[in-house]
Structure 1
Amino acid sequence: MKNFGIALVTALFIFCSCENDKGNDNNENEVSENVSSFKEVGTITIGGEAAAEISAYDETTKRLFTVNNSGTNQVDVIDLSNPMSPVKIGAISLTTYSGAANSVSVYGGKLAVAVESTVSKQNYGKVLVFNTADLSLIKEITVGALPDMVTFSPDGKYIMSANEGEPNADYTVDPEGTVSIIEVNKDYAVTTLNFAGFESQLTTLRTKGFRVSKTAVSFAADIEPEYITISADSKTAWVTLQENNGVAKVDLASKKITSLFGLGYKDFNLAENAIDISDKDGAIAFNPWKVKGMYMPDAIASYSVNGTDYFITANEGDAREYGSYKDVERLKNLNLDATIFPNASALKADASMGRLNLISTEGDTDTDGDLDELISFGARSFTIWNGSTGSLVYDSKNDLDKRSNDLGTYDDARSDDKGSEPEAVVVAKMGKKQILFVGLERTDTVIVYDITNPAVPQYLQSIKTGDAPEGLLFIPASKSPNNRSLLVVSSEGDGKVKFFQPDLL
């Protein structure tokens, strides 16, 4: 992607008002920050692998709550009053609840924790709500199987959880994937929605790239919600259905799933989408290849520009691997149509396309037992979509991989899989600008863009993080413990939480 006007953006003044002065333009306490200059100011290690996945911040207590499943299942409590010297001060154990945390969210002195059952992932999960000050339990709420993500609505009236509903190891039990809506002000009354009502639309959805496994017990059971974003007005939510290559739109007032969007395919044979496809070619080389990618997004964020809603996806990709069942296979082990791929033998070489992991159950368009199309996992990009129609507005093409390579963090060993592997996206309003942070799990990098114009994002900065960044959290200056914007990056590979701030102007 070309770097349009970076000098102007680098000089951008960011104005963040104090919380007590919201809406009062005459009394704003303004902080001027250089949005292109985030630097690490602090770090804390809370454990080993899987120790630091997702974090949430409580501005009242100046505490950070971070999922820690590296040893016992718990949420660690970190004093963040000084971001340059964070200190772990406690933990909330989840062993009492026979569960393990997957996600956390905070609003108004309340901490919501998404908890999967440790008895069986296929059992109903829970959302636990704790007081952020004394860590006491406020409410225990039953939701669908395997709640993978939880979030408060911006107005604090709702808690939502994405309940993935993964099958067991031998695929004999596959609970329905669901979305739960919890009404905070109605004693945490919960409504859990499934996707059965959309089964009649499957034929149309398939034409738009929506994917349902050929071995699915049912349409509703095959849907696997992954991540949620809620609009600023707390009226609409969008939910990624990662393995299905789709996004669901939810109306919070009526508590109904109103739309399913199939996300289609990305053509890696276009020059602007060129990828490094082999981990055995002895080089990092971005070239066009005759293969498509299913977007299969993990994290999702949203924002509004001039009254139009947009959602943004981190197009990670994900295989289904349960016991003996798997839908991933290297290209060299699959049969290719001889007419469409007359050079199949050459393509199957390790230094060519042979090492590429494909979705083995997709691409046989004429059902004759060989592949007519090559479909891979993920799009190696972030994408901005229209929130009403689900239509594509902008895709970052191969910019994430190339920026990682420029930074020296690109991992060639992942070229055959999903490249830099976009995992997380967060949008922050900074002054009059909308800033996007994209976390890349396999290149240990966060890349920053100005997305004020959703059709023409501008690259700002690349940031080196901890190992395998999983969760991104932006704390605006108005809520930050030191009145400066904070980017919090939680990395599950090394159990580190790192804190980044921009320079003052």
Structure 2
Amino acid sequence: MKKTLISTTIALALTTAITACIAKPKDISIQTPRQPAQSPLTVTMLARYESGQYGVSAAEILDYHAQSKSIFVVNAKSGQVDILDASIISTIKNTANNTTKTTIDPLTLNNLTKKSTLNLASDLNLTRLGSVNSVAIYDNLLAVAIERGDDKGNSVQDRGFIGFYSLDNTGKATYLRAVEVGYLPDNVVFTHDGNKVIVANEGEPSNDYTVDPEGSISIININNNVPVKQAININFNDFDTQSARHHELPKGVKVNGPKSSVSQDLEPEYIAISHDNSQAFVSLQENNAIAVIDLKSQRVERIIDLGSKDYGLAKNAIDASDKDGEINIQSYPGVYGLYQPDTIASYSIEGADFIVTANEGDARDYAGFSEETRAGKLTLDKNHPQFDAIQDKKQLGRLKVTTSIGDTDNDGDIDKIYSYGSRSFSIWDAQGKQVFDSGNDFERITADRLGINFNNHNSKNKGDSRSDDKGAEPEALALGSIDGRQYAFVGLERTSGFMIYDITEPQQAYFVDYIINRNFTPQFEIENGVVTKGDPRAAGDLGPEGMKFIAGSKSPNGKPLLLVANEISGTTVVYQLKK
């Protein structure tokens, strides 16, 4: 029975050792990565909220307000922020030894309540406002990023805004002001001291690619808990062709938008702040790069090319086909993955910053321009080691790859095959040197735990259906310290659930556990926000998009927590973490 069930006490303490009941296929032998002898984390589901909305980004990015015990969750498509009451968490006790027990299905648990909703469109009172993309809280100040369409009918191509609110001890939000930032603000964060808000403005092109706004970073100073009225915007103009710093742009940075300048093509996605608040590390996902921003001089310090991952190495082997009907993890010399991180985070060890990336991958695939194709459609150099494999849909023929790079000798055929994402998470030092990558752990671990349900889609139950694309698709990411150990929590957007790694020693990071609350049995399908088949409610939590670690000193019950917002199922889940 391919279902994840959790036995629980009447107090709703749900211990999530939840993939053990899934049978391992008889035709494979997969070794889970070695785990040192340190005590593992006990992960317990405490609470969950069901929005009842599926496939419409009803739960994306989230943050926590300690004073009011409230969770603020981005409901992207509604242009609103849902405020959930997390006070119940302080009343939930783990009574696993109690003789009185009941069974509560974690797939349908719904014990969190919504207190209220923030309607940014109403508060900002501006036309053409679109989705809310990000939320951040520092002390009693809330910052929310919202996009805006231009006056030509393009949905996200005008400058967006950060809406600021003050929060009281009940979680009530009072609107302060909106500050205009760059085009399509996609992520907003506070510096660790709360003195600045930093915004990644992605600057996506229109679908016909006739409008491609510049990507940028915005800095909003905070004075005495009040945001200033005008942001400082940092662009990438100096890196354009024939501009002063173009020679500093690493050759490996992927710039491929038609007729777009470098500053238009670079698309800031997510932000991490250095431990001393002097730098912002910004993922440029489509460009396979990280920009380092000097927050003191308010300029781009440098751009880092992340390079590629060699799928020819056994430690990086992948399943590249959704048509083979089996788990077929193998190495492919001459095939590479672009890291292209989405979420990015950072932590420090003895004053040295380390950058952690969830390497999701992303293609430019628009009506007016698309770089995406199948490997089987490439004009491949006849001497390439995979020349025959790309003719076979059960091997490499189905793999989604880019046509923009790979012709290394400029003779018109492809010499290196590049796909999107690296199906892993990585740790880099502040100079951009990789010190750890999880290799093919995600593929092997999910195959071991889920069998043929590995590399599943998040909008329907169909195993192996994402092997040709980006696998389990790591996207969400949170870091946290528990009893002196540093952990990374990596959400798998497609297969769902999250990986836990101990990253206390960056070069020796190791796998701790994989937690998933999903039922792979029900047949359901969600297309364009519409449930076209079955009941997705029975499937559990689908598509983790945002995660937030809450230290015990700030959590409602005094224990470390992990909050997870699941985009496709529209659910928000609270897990307790105990070493």
- Normalising by structure 2, what TM-score? 0.79
CA–CA separation in structure 1 for the residues paired with 2:577 and 2:305: 37
In angstroms, what is the RMSD of aligned CA positions?
Answer: 1.7
- 1:166 Cα deviation after fit: 0.4
2:62 is equivalent to residue 61 of structure 1: no
Match of 1:340 in 2: 384
Match of 1:92 in 2: 118
Partner of 1:464: 516
Deviation at 1:324, TM superposition (A): 3.2
Q: How does 1:192-231 map to 2 (within 5 A)?
A: 192-199=233-240, 205-207=249-251, 209-213=252-256, 215-231=258-274
> Quick check: 1:94–1:100 contact (8 Å CA) kept in 2?
no
Alpha-carbon separation, structure 2, partners of 1:206 and 1:356:
27
Q: Which residue of 1 aligns with 2:183?
A: 145
Counterparts of 1:8-407 in structure 2, within 5 Å, are 8-10=38-40, 36-46=41-51, 47-49=53-55, 50-70=57-77, 72-83=78-89, 85-96=111-122, 97=124, 98-118=129-149, 120-133=155-168, 134-185=172-223, 187-188=227-228, 189-199=230-240, 205-207=249-251, 209-213=252-256, 215-290=258-333, 291-341=335-385, 344-387=387-430, 389-407=431-449
Q: Is residue 289–residue 340 contact of structure 2 (8 Å, CA) maintained in 1?
A: yes
Q: How much has 1:345 moved relative to structure 2?
A: 4.2
1:3 — aligned with what? Answer: 34
Counterpart Cα distance in 2 of 1:487 and 1:197: 40
Q: Provide the C-alpha distance between the structure 2 equivalents of 1:364 and 1:426, rounded to a whole number of angstroms.
A: 37
Q: Deviations over 1:400-421 (max 9, x none)?
A: 2212222215221100000111
CA contact (8 A) 2:184 2:204 kept: yes
Cα displacement (A) at 1:187: 4.2
- CA deviations on 1:212-242 (whole Å, 9 max, x unpaired) are 0152421100000000011232222100000
SS of match in other structure, 1:323 = coil
Q: What's the CA shift for 1:153?
A: 1.0
Alpha-carbon deviation of 1:204? 6.2
In structure 2, distance between residues paired with 1:308 and 1:44: 38
Given the superposition, is the C-alpha separation of residues 216 and 238 from structure 1 closer, same or farther in structure 2, using an over 3 Å criterion? farther
Residue identity in the other structure for 1:77: I
Whole-angstrom CA distance in 2 between matches of 1:51 and 1:59: 22
* Contact preservation (8 Å) 1:321, 1:327: yes
Which one-letter code corresponds to 1:192 in the other structure?
N
Taking the aligned partners of 1:280 and 1:402, their CA distance within structure 2 comes to 18
- Contact persistence 1:404–1:445 (CA under 8 A): no
Would you say 1:440 and 2:492 are equivalent positions? Answer: yes
Find runs of 4+ consecutive structure 1 residues off by over 3 angstroms: 199-207
Cα deviation, 1:78-137, whole Å, max 9, x if unaligned, reads: 111113632101101123342320010001111110100145311000001112233221
Aligned to 1:430: 482
**Contact 1:251 1:258 (8 Å CA) reproduced:** yes
Q: Which residue of 2 aligns with 1:421?
A: 473
In the alignment, the residues of structure 2 paired with residue 41 and residue 172 of structure 1 have an alpha-carbon distance, to the nearest angstrom, of 48
The question of 1:452 aligning with 2:504 is answered yes
Alpha-carbon distance in structure 2 between the residues aligned to 1:79 and 1:305: 35
Native 8 Å contact 1:471 1:489 kept in 2: yes
For the Cα contact (< 8 Å) 2:157–2:206, is it kept in 1? yes
8 A contact 1:380–1:420 mirrored in 2: yes
- What is the deviation of 1:325? 1.3
Separation of aligned partners in 2, 1:99 and 1:444: 27
Unaligned runs of 5+ in 2: 1-31, 93-110, 456-463, 518-540
Q: 1:212 to 1:202 in 2, by over 3 A?
A: farther
Instruction: Output the CA distance in 1 between the equivalents of 2:227 and 2:419.
Output: 45
